[in-house]
Structure 1
Amino acid sequence: MRIRTITTGVAAVTSLAVAVGVGYVVGNGQGGGPPASPPIRLANADLTVAASCEDLLASYVDRALEQVGPYGWGGVIAYGDVGAMDAASPQASESAAGSMSARTMVKTSRSESNESGTNVQEVGVDESDVVKVAGSLLLRMRDGVLLAYDVAGDGPRLLSSTPVDDARGSSVWVGDPGGEMVVVDGRAVVLGTSDDGRSSTITTVDLSDPTSPSVVDATTISGRASAVRLHGDVVRVVVQSALPELDFSVPSGAFGELRARLRNRGLVRDTTLADWLPTVDGAPVVDCGDVAVPDDDLALGTTTVLAFDPADPSSRSTTAVATDSDISYFSTDRFYLAAAQPPWGWVDCIDCRPAQTTGPSGTTPVFAFALDGADATYVASGEVEGTVADRWSMDAVGSSLRVAVGPSSETGNYNSVVTLREDGSSLVEDGRVDRLGVDEQLTSVRWFDDLAIVVTFRQTDPLYAIDLSDPSAPRLLGELEIPGFSEYLHPLGEHRLIGMGQDASLQGVTRGAQAALFDVTDLTRPRQLDVVTYGAETQAGAAADPRQFTWLPDQRVALTVVSEGWTGTTGWVSVLSLADGSMTNRMVEVEHGTDVEDVRLVPLASGAVVLVTGEDVTSFDVTAG
């Protein structure tokens, strides 16, 4: 397996450079009009900008005609959106330390519960959730209602209930998927998604009087919100626009397939930009000049990053790439889009692990954008051979991108960790470690300043420690093989690591959820210290949604959700107390049915913990016997 930059033509770069020079920012548009004057210039020709809105539409139609058949898209009629959220195991960013020995490496992870109460991928980059904390105020979304609680006293006290409606005045369906929020400067930004996943509503709520919140803006945009991030006071929403829903014909009678194909191709030719771009009230929200068109034949659709300050929610900045991908990773100053083919299926929530991961597709293009305020500037791109499963497979430290990739038709039958650096306008391979888990599936990754912990699984669970202190020469330090596997990894200081996943027999048959405690003091010889198993047919909630894991460092206690069966008929909070290299477990039954997926354990600044279940918000006693 190798990394290579995308080969591009010279003419497009030259013409754009002559027209406008260097360094225009992608993403200042407000609508679907002609390109800005002067038009934006991209860093190289891996992404180009159409000369006009007509040319942009033609690029969509030309690509679409290759995919439509007598039964519609790809030979079958497309129902709903495809795509899913990412998750697998957390990571971080910042500058790496210099080369160090395996025993003294800096093992700092910046992925942890932040002040909003959410277990996030990057410290400094908040993520949406169904529950948020802002000082003594706790907010939660439940069945289209924003509930505000005062948590300053002995127990949560309900202050208000605010229905969240879309721009047309009808209730936003916020159960599956959607109904998540971020909070900034006394305002909540709530994301809700329609039943069919074809539209999302962004609602801004003023919380200056939490006893009587007021909706100040509600904007419904076509497309599915697949990620929400908060950088300072800038909210960024990733919106996926899949293939348009068209009234396709199906074959019938003599020459049925021929007639159906011709009619379906005619429907594609009659599409407008409003069919391909995200829209508000039927008008594209992205200017034609803010849509970058990939040079390669990628998944057809549009991925848009919409940015705004909740203080002025109607003023938006947009950046779009004409491909449909749900693998978007944000560091503190970069946005990376891995242009993988979205899997078929439905999603349970924003930022949850997909039911199906991306299958082998050969190579995965990666586009890098620099973030500055509400703007995004395309800076570099490259192409990695192999599959990128989800956002947790990527991590940025300074200008270095680290990617864990699985096998594909273009690689060997193993997993790899690849480091990339920005060289001009290209992402080029800096270093790599191959042959991680031959004939095995990559199940989780944990990124640190200068370290990666990678877990793969087939019959046993190899855990690999990889030194990234020199990005140009990453090296395998040590490995540990044990039964079972971890799907989510969380650091417990510099020398301990906990993994939530599945127990398994030596033959690779899963036997239920487990928590495993690891000692990574000596990275050449990682050790498993203790294991807690939860019984047959149990599932660890953090495996699908890391927000169902909470670490309380002062108390040396991990709180995590465990459910019975794939349907989550019963949900418990597992209270794992750590001491002297061992874990003791106490199970607290808290919920039943589909509400198990919304259970959260929210740490407060006071040291108290709030338990959020389907119907209730209560105090949770961590020390109860």
Structure 2
Amino acid sequence: MSLRRFTTTVAATTTLAAAVGVGYLLGDDSGRTTPPASAPIALANADLAVAASCDDLLDSYIDRGLEQVGPYGWGSGIVMFDAAGGDAEMSSPTASGVQRAAGSTVKTSRSTSNESGTNVQELGVDESDVVKVAGPLLLRMRDGELLAYDVSGDEPSLLSTTRIEDSRGHGLLGDLGGELLLVGGRAVVLGTSPDGLDTTITTVDLADPTSPSIVDATTVRGRASAVRLHGDVVRVVLQTGLPELDFSYPDGTFGQVRARLRNRALVRDTTLADWLPSIGGEPAVDCSDVAVPDDETVALGTTTVIAFDPAEPTERSTTAVATDSDTAYFSTDRFYLAAGGPQWGMWGDCMDCRIGPGTTSGTTPLYAFALDGVETTYVASGEVEGTIADRWSMDAVGGSLRVAVGPSSETGNFNSVITLREDGSSLVEDGRVDDLGVDEQIKSVRWFDDLAIVVTFRQTDPLYAIDLSDPAAPRLLGELKIPGFSEYLHPLGEHRLIGMGQDATLDGMTRGAQAALFDVTDLTDPRQIDVVRYDRETWAGAASDPRQFTWLPEQRVALTVVSQGWSGTTGWVSVLSLDDGSMTNRMVEVEHGSDVAQVRLVPLSSGKVALVTGEDVSFFSV
């Protein structure tokens, strides 16, 4: 699928027809037209097709919507919102590999903390965060304001404060979005409205950080669930769920029948602006750039990728899939979307946090898109039997997509690692390893160039090491079973991993946060060599938001946020010093209340570490 560029006034110039020849559309057995075999590129296979017209696209939304509406509205009457998943890591820039038992090496994770200071998933792919740095400049979002600091002196000094508003002049709430990227002297700020339905994309010029200027502010109907930076190109993944309609509710003897009929009539009266992301009430994506899944069991809604260069923020390109999914993974040259069944619940209060249960249907469709400049082009699709917990259950390297899947109605009661490759326009299974953690749940996955570390849990914590050097024949190398579990794994060089998670009793009852140090020198025999157990009823922040973990390789120190309490919350920085296979811990109390989620520890080019709390920026003594 190719893309369409538009300005904030939604003046469309469609490139889809130019890509395949004017008037050509791919289709399936439902009567959609199919281009001649000589069409320059294939836009879709049987899994993903383009509607022949805007009317047909709207009909596809309405037909599926009618199947999901009842006397109480959508499903049980609760509007569906999805939670963004995330897990991230950073590795030592001096690390060269993880030693295999046979004596060869496996390269460490490609993840790292890039120059912006954020703990990211892929080296070369930055992610939005509440804090960014560039040399002596530190930017942070707080309560809907962009604050710029000079961190070159003895103490950080505030340079400017810029209020970020949506296109209607309403302020943004920092804990419901308020994340940013820093690109070529410009900040791109993403803010989500309190109801989670609108996203404002604001571009701020920082040529003079003492007096920033807002270049553009565009409010899009849709919730940002992921934001990535490839070179100078910002990509925003927007979710547009089921339309908010004025549904009726049963009343009286025949109330359910009347309510259902009226609710179905409301669905029939919807327009494309109700189903697609919109700007000023008009769809922000062209009908010919929306791919419709053949699988009608996937969650109904729209997932859209908006791409632009902040140097020209009003010129954007879009591509979309007619399903609502927050399980989106970006490599350096691919975007993968895992489409699951409906997930009923509330959205999370930060982008890319691990909250939801992942895909919920028995089989998970996968859609692959190639990334080239501002273009996001559909290339292939396939499916895996099982559930995908979050974006960190997926990884791509060397043309191979690797996926960790949990059990579903279509699998046995175990977890698996599956490799897939692109074969024409299809993602086909290349190899697999099954029977990982029978009757257990995947808690964390860490991918390396040709290795996967998978942690599952029910009563004990099995840690599995899987050789992926031959994608067609992955194999289990070794496993370790210990109490508790790691929800976030981080490589610490050639032979060590640290896991942040929960301590647990032998019968599976959790007790409090823990940090576990693993020796993976011999992958046939991984070992836990030390553990730090925190107080009861504590939580490791990295378990849901790995941006609260920082590894300082030169000092051999890990900094991570640990919190405790519900009605009154206290947050500490746990300073974990590593020495010869052991850890010592020092706890520094830094924050309280909901601001604990905003705590970041950011390495600076000067060698200092900035501590960002809810109200302050200071230097942290390691």
| Shorter-normalised TM range | over 0.9
Contact 2:89 2:119 in 1 (8 A): no
Consecutive unaligned residues of structure 2, counting only runs of 5 or more, are 26-41
Aligned to 2:110: 110
Matched, 1:283 2:277: no
Matched, 1:247 2:224: no
Q: Deviations over 1:183-205 (max 9, x none)?
A: 00000000010111010100000
Q: How does 1:100-499 map to 2 (within 5 A)?
A: 102-175=102-175, 177-297=176-296, 298-343=298-343, 344-354=345-355, 356-358=356-358, 360-499=360-499
SS at match of 1:534: strand
Cα offset for 1:29?
5.5
CA distance in 1 between partners of 2:524 and 2:2 (Å)? 45
Contact 1:53 1:288 in 2 (8 A): yes
Contact 1:439 1:458 in 2 (8 A): yes
CA distance in 1 between partners of 2:531 and 2:101 (Å)? 29
Contact 1:568 1:594 in 2 (8 A): no
Q: How does 1:595-606 map to 2 (within 5 A)?
A: 595-606=595-606
Cα offset for 1:567?
5.8
Contact 2:404 2:416 in 1 (8 A): yes
Cα offset for 1:89?
5.6
Aligned to 2:580: 580
Residue identity opposite 1:179 in structure 2: G
SS at match of 2:513: strand
Q: Deviations over 1:137-194 (max 9, x none)?
A: 000000011000001112211100111111112212232x200000000000000101
Residue identity opposite 1:486 in structure 2: S
CA distance in 2 between partners of 1:398 and 1:379 (Å)? 16
Query: Structure 2 vs 1, CA of residues 208 and 89 (structure 1 numbering), >3 Å: closer, same or farther?
Result: closer
Residue identity opposite 1:591 in structure 2: E
CA distance in 1 between partners of 2:512 and 2:342 (Å)? 29
Cα offset for 1:420?
0.4
Query: Structure 2 vs 1, CA of residues 583 and 568 (structure 1 numbering), >3 Å: closer, same or farther?
Result: farther
Residue identity opposite 1:198 in structure 2: L
Q: Deviations over 1:522-556 (max 9, x none)?
A: 10111111000111000000001000000000000
SS at match of 1:244: coil
CA distance in 2 between partners of 1:210 and 1:489 (Å)? 36
Contact 1:547 1:600 in 2 (8 A): yes
Aligned to 2:2: 25
Aligned to 1:516: 516
Cα offset for 1:360?
4.1
Aligned to 1:8: none
SS at match of 1:595: helix
Cα offset for 1:103?
3.7
SS at match of 2:260: helix
CA distance in 2 between partners of 1:602 and 1:567 (Å)? 28
SS at match of 1:411: coil
Residue identity opposite 1:189 in structure 2: V
SS at match of 2:536: coil
Query: Structure 2 vs 1, CA of residues 220 and 432 (structure 1 numbering), >3 Å: closer, same or farther?
Result: same
Residue identity opposite 1:364 in structure 2: T
Aligned to 2:533: 533
TM-score, normalising length: structure 2: 0.92
Query: Structure 2 vs 1, CA of residues 358 and 312 (structure 1 numbering), >3 Å: closer, same or farther?
Result: same
TM-score, normalising length: structure 1: 0.92
Residue identity opposite 1:70 in structure 2: P
Cα offset for 1:328?
0.3
Contact 2:166 2:218 in 1 (8 A): yes
CA distance in 2 between partners of 1:102 and 1:25 (Å)? 46
Cα offset for 1:244?
0.2
With 590-599 and 561-570 compared, the bigger mean Cα shift is at: 561-570
Contact 1:385 1:410 in 2 (8 A): yes
With 252-261 and 500-509 compared, the bigger mean Cα shift is at: 252-261
Q: Deviations over 1:488-537 (max 9, x none)?
A: 00000111000000001111111100000001011011111100011100
Q: Deviations over 1:325-366 (max 9, x none)?
A: 000000000000000135322302011111x31364200000
Contact 1:402 1:420 in 2 (8 A): yes
Cα offset for 1:26?
3.7
The percentage of counterpart residues that share the same residue type is 75
Query: Structure 2 vs 1, CA of residues 207 and 323 (structure 1 numbering), >3 Å: closer, same or farther?
Result: same
Residue identity opposite 1:449 in structure 2: D
SS at match of 2:207: coil
Query: Structure 2 vs 1, CA of residues 129 and 72 (structure 1 numbering), >3 Å: closer, same or farther?
Result: same
SS at match of 1:249: coil
Q: Deviations over 1:191-235 (max 9, x none)?
A: 010111010100000000000001110000001000000000000
Residue identity opposite 1:510 in structure 2: T
SS at match of 1:253: coil
Contact 1:402 1:417 in 2 (8 A): yes
Residue identity opposite 1:159 in structure 2: L
CA distance in 2 between partners of 1:415 and 1:459 (Å)? 16
CA distance in 2 between partners of 1:120 and 1:129 (Å)? 10
Consecutive unaligned residues of structure 1, counting only runs of 5 or more, are 1-23
Matched residues, number: 591
CA distance in 2 between partners of 1:104 and 1:529 (Å)? 23
SS at match of 1:54: helix
CA distance in 1 between partners of 2:121 and 2:211 (Å)? 33
CA distance in 1 between partners of 2:90 and 2:139 (Å)? 26
Residue identity opposite 1:574 in structure 2: S
Residue identity opposite 2:123 in structure 1: V
Cα offset for 1:100?
7.3
SS at match of 1:486: strand
Contact 2:300 2:342 in 1 (8 A): no
With 32-41 and 567-576 compared, the bigger mean Cα shift is at: 32-41
Contact 1:34 1:288 in 2 (8 A): no
CA distance in 1 between partners of 2:209 and 2:385 (Å)? 51
Q: Deviations over 1:558-587 (max 9, x none)?
A: 000000135671000000000110001000
Aligned to 1:62: 63
Contact 1:105 1:450 in 2 (8 A): no
CA distance in 2 between partners of 1:130 and 1:366 (Å)? 30
Residue identity opposite 1:203 in structure 2: T
Contact 2:186 2:204 in 1 (8 A): yes
Cα offset for 1:105?
2.5
Aligned to 1:10: none
Q: Deviations over 1:82-134 (max 9, x none)?
A: 10111246599xxx99x976442323211121110000000100000000001
